[in-house]
Amino acid sequence: MADTSVLRDGLHFGEGPRRGPDGRLYYSDFYAGEVHALDLATGDDEVVVAFDGQPSGLGWLPDGSLLVVSMLDRTVRKLVGDELVVHADISDIATFHANDMLVDGEGRAYVGNFGFDLHGLIDEVGIPGLLEPGFDPLGAKLALVQPDGTAGVVAEDLKFPNGMALLPDPTGESESGNILVVAETVAFHLTSFSVDRNGSLQNRRVWADVKEAGIAPDGIAGDGDGVWVAPALQPAAFRVTEGGKITRKVETTQPCFAVAVVGDTLVCLTAPDSHPSVVKPERLGRIETYRL
């Protein structure tokens, strides 16, 4: 029995949930090519923008402009009126599909990418192959897009950099007072960096190893001194603190791929699988909620 309640179904594959400036939950539906805004109180759902592409990570510039990762052409788009225009081209940084994104309060966007054809590899070796001790996939670069759209590399050789969260630095040593936690999905751990005032990253370290718990960390969301983690391979969401301690588990109706914390509500985006052959032709994705 799941702990969550299903608020919305009929998605292909949901990604990038974020609380918007207006308090609604914004999310992407990959294969519908749509970005939605959902009122968690009423369940009212609006298509904010649709385009001939595949949206993923979301965020906002300080002026309120919505940023959207366009996966297939590896760009970050900005919503201007009813049109998504190119804000930054990261195709020379991302070596496969662009993916999740975190935009900080200054409008700087950290953008991950697959690094390699994950689903092609799964077709070849299966999920068990990803768990083999000698498995060492190609690394990917993490892009930093400045508010004016210029882009550069802030970290390299990340194993499928996925969800990200900013947490207070418990050591007080980082210039900004924050650390950036990045989910390295196929390394089965969370990595942290100290964040400088200009957004650059230092002091890379493993923040939490979650392989023994069977967690392939996908989307994450900050929650105090910890993060909620979507495990991708399990129908649940886990709250994890530094060192890998699991402090809470919330069971979902199907595997969870992305999470957000909106007020006192945990939001879980779930689907039966992440493989396009399963979720692209069907609408089996759900948005599930749990009152914390």
For residue range 127-169, list pLDDT tens digits in order: 666 666 777 777 899 999 999 999 999 999 999 999 999 999 9
pLDDT tens-place string over residues 193-242? 999 999 999 999 999 999 999 999 999 999 999 999 999 999 999 999 99
pLDDT-above-90 percentage for the chain? 88
Give the amino acid at 240.
V
Better pLDDT: 182 or 117: 182
H/E stretch holding 29? strand 25-29
Q: How far apart, in Å, are the Cα atoms of 179 and each of 95, 145, 172, 194, 229? A: 25, 18, 10, 5, 17
C-beta of residue 55 within 8 angstroms of C-beta of residue 67: no
Rounded-to-integer distance, Cα 276 and Cα 119, Å = 8
Asked if 260 and 17 touch (Cβ cutoff 8 Å), the reply is yes
Q: What is the pLDDT of residue 122?
A: 65
Query: Looking at residue 211, which CATH number applies to its domain?
Result: 2.120.10.30
For residue 52, give both structure tokens. 């001939």
- Grouping H, G, I as helix, E, B as strand and the rest as coil, residue 160 is coil
Q: What is the pLDDT of residues 22-40, one digit of tens each?
A: 999 999 999 999 999 999 9
First to last CA, the chain: 17
Per-residue pLDDT, 142: 98
Average pLDDT over the chain, rounded to an integer? 94
In sign, the C-alpha dihedral spanning 242, 245, 251, 252 is positive
pLDDT value for 55: 98
Indicate whether 85 pLDDT > 80. Answer: yes
Secondary element (H or E) of residue 109? strand 109-113
Measured CA to CA, the distance from residue 102 to residue 162 in angstroms comes to: 10
The total domain count for the chain is 1
Has residue 125 got a pLDDT over 80? Answer: no
Largest CA distance in the chain: 49
Domain housing 201: 5-291
Q: Any residues with CB less than 8 A from the CB of 182 and at least 6 apart, and which? A: 110, 112, 142, 155, 158, 161, 162, 163, 164, 190, 191, 192, 193
Answer yes or no: is pLDDT of 119 > 70: no
Examine the pLDDT at 120 and tell me if it is beyond 70. no
> What is the pLDDT confidence band of residue 69, given thresholds at 50, 70 and 90?
very high
pLDDT band, very low/low/confident/very high, at 276 (cuts 50, 70, 90): confident
Read off φ and ψ for residue 118, nearest 5 degrees: -60, -50
Q: What is the pLDDT of residue 138?
A: 75
